[in-house]
């Protein structure tokens, strides 16, 4: 960009691309989906010219904010319950809900030696604390409880349970060693397709009810083409391969 | 609707925590305040700044470092393990220790201000009357600085009741051990149980108002900060 001429061209291009219908969409995204969403938002910008303005946080807080007029147009929740509730509240565009990702659960420890033979470490019961996400709030927590019951160790480990308010905090408890092990999201520990550090056991998906993460277009986004474009994009090939690379499953 | 059993358990736990922390802080904070009020050491500035840190740090920062420090690889954690106490995070006593740090400035500063306001004179007079150091403290400082101690106790208690970020970071949400009222409210809101959240939250508002009302009624002329 050495000459004023180039600058003028650039401005002209910018004007043209605006005229071509590039819009901005504000998206409320569940914190556990931060990594993939950053990549998807970038790809979305490259491929469609639209811009996704992302806010990351707890789904429960987003729900409260949306009910009270927060200016979000698309909501990517960490569960299926809150989008469904918003549909009931009449705050969404009808029939736009879909499952954008399925969460995978992993029993994980920061200690590379601890989890060598899958879930048997739970039965041996030689640990101080087992971290799970709050089962009342986080689907990952509810799934962890289901797995413990299925393994028939729930009675055994209940006195040792500590709860993170969400899956991010649960990960923090385990990664700092304050809890020797815990049930976290595979997306938190995956690196190039496998568990990056420590040791772990990826829980088979049939041991718990699917952890459905649903997306929905909110009433404020009804007229925004970028909101609809983003929903389509999430179901496209490029987005789905990003989602898979982060250890999420896809709903069929 | 009213309070559920879990709510009542959280309230009782919170009151126990705040009561214990207030007593500990009066015991620990008073010598610190005394020293800060009277010393001419060049360490006065740094020590005062460290005590005041929780006023400006986000509670999550404090909580995060406490989690690291009290964890199995942290210095405090290694000490408590060596002493056979075990690890502090996720225990009631872990919350007590964290709250003592967190609420420290709210106790130290009012006492320090009160002692500074006394000046040297009453203590010198007491000394010429052959009052020993302990006698001077209990017969002169304590009665004269009483409003400062009262303010300190009320603020320390109220601030511990209102603590949230630190508890969230090191508590682990264990019923009866670390699930205090503020965490319980958060859980209700996150679970979309707004009715239950209202009950507890409104009680907190009323409680905080009454505490401050008591403070200003009992100490009309005392500056609190």
Tens digits of residue pLDDT in A123-143: 999 999 999 999 988 899 999
Chain B residues whose beta carbon lies within 8 Å of the beta carbon of residue A161: 174
Q: Which residue has the tokens 């010219």?
A: A49
Strands A194-195 and A98-103: unpaired
pLDDT band at A20 (very low <50, low <70, confident <90, very high): low
Nearest partner of A64 among A45, A77, A53, A52, judged by Cα: A77
* pLDDT number for residue B126: 86
* pLDDT number for residue A214: 97
pLDDT band at A4 (very low <50, low <70, confident <90, very high): low
Total Cβ atoms within 10 A of residue A208: 22
* pLDDT number for residue A141: 94
A137, A195: one domain: yes
A112, A45: one domain: no
Is B199's pLDDT higher than 50? yes
Is A164–B173 a contact, with Cβ atoms under 8 angstroms apart? Answer: yes
Identify whether A172 is part of a domain: yes
Yes or no: say if B222 and B147 are a contact pair by the CB < 8 Å rule.
yes
A63, A116: one domain: no
Question: The CATH number of the domain where A123 resides is what?
Answer: 3.40.190.10
A154, A32: one domain: no
Identify whether A13 is part of a domain: no
A72, A114: one domain: no
How many percent of chain A have pLDDT more than 70?
A: 92
For B125-133, what is the mean pLDDT? 86
Residue-averaged pLDDT of chain A: 90
* pLDDT number for residue B120: 84
Superfamily of domain covering B5-218: MetI-like (1.10.3720.10)
* pLDDT number for residue B218: 76
The whole-angstrom separation of Cα B70 and Cα A170 is 17
A97, A109: one domain: no
Instruction: Provide the number of structural domains found in chain A.
Output: 2
Relative orientation angle of helices A59-67 and A81-88, to the nearest 10 degrees? 10
Reduced to 3 DSSP states, what percent helix, strand and coil does chain A have, rounded to the nearest 5?
45, 25, 30
Residue-averaged pLDDT of chain B: 90
Identify whether A91 is part of a domain: yes
Domain ranges (residues) in chain B: 5-218
Identify whether A127 is part of a domain: yes
pLDDT band at A7 (very low <50, low <70, confident <90, very high): low
The whole-angstrom separation of Cα B205 and Cα B127 is 46
pLDDT band at B175 (very low <50, low <70, confident <90, very high): confident
Token duo for residue B144: 């004269």
Is B100's pLDDT higher than 90? yes
Nearest partner of B104 among B166, B42, B146, B147, judged by Cα: B166
For A94-101, what is the mean pLDDT? 96
Domain assignment of residue A63, given as a range: 21-102+212-245
A192, A148: one domain: yes
* pLDDT number for residue A10: 57
How many percent of chain B have pLDDT more than 90?
A: 58
Yes or no: say if B155 and B147 are a contact pair by the CB < 8 Å rule.
no
Is A61–B189 a contact, with Cβ atoms under 8 angstroms apart? Answer: yes
Is A1's pLDDT higher than 70? no
- By a Cβ cutoff of 8 Å, what residues of chain A touch chain B? 58, 60-61, 63-64, 82, 85, 128-129, 131, 134, 136-137, 161-165, 169, 172-173, 176-179
A55, A75: one domain: yes
Yes or no: say if A244 and A33 are a contact pair by the CB < 8 Å rule.
no
A129, A72: one domain: no
Q: What is the ipTM of this complex?
A: 0.74
pLDDT band at A22 (very low <50, low <70, confident <90, very high): confident
CA distance B67 to chain A (A): 8
Identify whether A92 is part of a domain: yes
Token duo for residue A116: 């060598």
Would the pTM count as exceeding 0.90?
no
How many percent of chain B have pLDDT more than 70?
A: 96
Yes or no: say if A86 and A173 are a contact pair by the CB < 8 Å rule.
no
Question: Closest residue of A to B186, CA-based?
Answer: A165
A179, A218: one domain: no
Candidate from A24-28, A37-41, A44-48, B162-166 with smallest mean pLDDT: B162-166
Chain B residues whose beta carbon lies within 8 Å of the beta carbon of residue A85: 192
Identify whether A11 is part of a domain: no
Identify which has the larger pLDDT, A105 or B168: A105
Identify whether A15 is part of a domain: no
Strands A51-57 and A24-30: parallel
Identify whether A47 is part of a domain: yes
* pLDDT number for residue A72: 95
* pLDDT number for residue B134: 87
* pLDDT number for residue A9: 60
For A95-117, what is the mean pLDDT? 95
Total Cβ atoms within 10 A of residue B138: 11
Is B164's pLDDT higher than 60? yes
Which residue of A109, A111, A138, A162 to mutate against B (max B Cβ within 10 Å)? Answer: A162
* pLDDT number for residue A170: 94
A65, A114: one domain: no
A221, A152: one domain: no
């Amino acid at each position: 960009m050495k000459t004023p001429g180039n600058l003028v061209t650039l401005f002209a291009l910018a004007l043209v691309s605006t005229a071509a219908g590039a819009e901005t969409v504000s998206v409320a995204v569940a914190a556990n989906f931060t990594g993939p969403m950053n990549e998807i938002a970038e790809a979305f910008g490259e491929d469609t010219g639209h811009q996704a303005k992302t806010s990351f946080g707890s789904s429960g807080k987003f729900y409260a904010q949306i009910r009270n007029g927060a200016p979000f147009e698309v909501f990517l929740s960490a569960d299926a319950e809150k989008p469904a509730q918003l549909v009931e509240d009449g705050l969404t565009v009808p029939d736009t809900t879909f499952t954008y990702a399925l969460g995978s659960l992993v029993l994980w420890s920061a200690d590379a030696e601890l989890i060598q033979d899958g879930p048997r470490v739970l039965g041996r019961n030689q640990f101080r604390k087992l971290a799970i996400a709050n089962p009342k709030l986080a689907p990952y927590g509810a799934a962890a409880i289901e797995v413990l019951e299925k393994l028939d160790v729930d009675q055994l480990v209940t006195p040792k349970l500590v709860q993170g308010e969400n899956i991010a905090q649960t990960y923090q408890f385990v990664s700092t060693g304050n809890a020797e092990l815990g049930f976290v999201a595979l997306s938190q520990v995956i690196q190039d397709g496998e568990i990056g550090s420590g040791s772990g056991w990826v829980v088979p998906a049939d041991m718990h009810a699917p952890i459905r993460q649903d997306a929905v277009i909110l009433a404020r986004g009804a007229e925004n083409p970028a909101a609809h474009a983003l929903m389509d994009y999430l179901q496209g090939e490029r987005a789905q391969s990003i989602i898979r690379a982060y250890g999420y499953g896809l709903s069929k | 609707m009213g309070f559920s059993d879990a709510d009542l358990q959280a309230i009782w736990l919170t009151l126990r925590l705040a009561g214990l922390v207030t007593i500990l802080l009066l015991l620990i904070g008073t010598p610190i305040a005394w020293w800060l009020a009277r010393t001419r050491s060049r360490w006065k500035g740094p020590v005062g700044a460290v005590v005041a840190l929780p006023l400006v740090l986000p509670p999550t920062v404090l909580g995060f470092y406490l989690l690291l420090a009290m964890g199995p690889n942290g210095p405090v954690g290694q000490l408590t393990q060596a002493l056979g106490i075990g690890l502090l995070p996720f225990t009631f006593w872990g919350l007590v220790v964290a709250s003592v740090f967190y609420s420290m400035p709210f106790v130290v500063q009012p006492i320090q201000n009160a002692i500074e306001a006394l000046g040297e004179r009453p203590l010198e007079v007491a000394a010429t009357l052959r009052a020993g150091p302990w006698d001077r403290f209990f017969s002169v400082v304590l009665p004269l600085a009483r409003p400062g101690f009262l303010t300190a106790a009320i603020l320390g208690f109220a601030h511990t009741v209102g603590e949230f970020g630190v508890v969230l970071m090191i508590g682990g949400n264990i019923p009866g051990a670390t699930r205090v009222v503020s965490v319980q409210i958060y859980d209700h809101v996150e679970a979309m149980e707004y009715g239950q959240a209202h009950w507890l939250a409104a009680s907190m508002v009323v409680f905080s108002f009454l505490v401050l009302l008591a403070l200003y009624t009992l100490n009309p002329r005392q500056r609190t900060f």
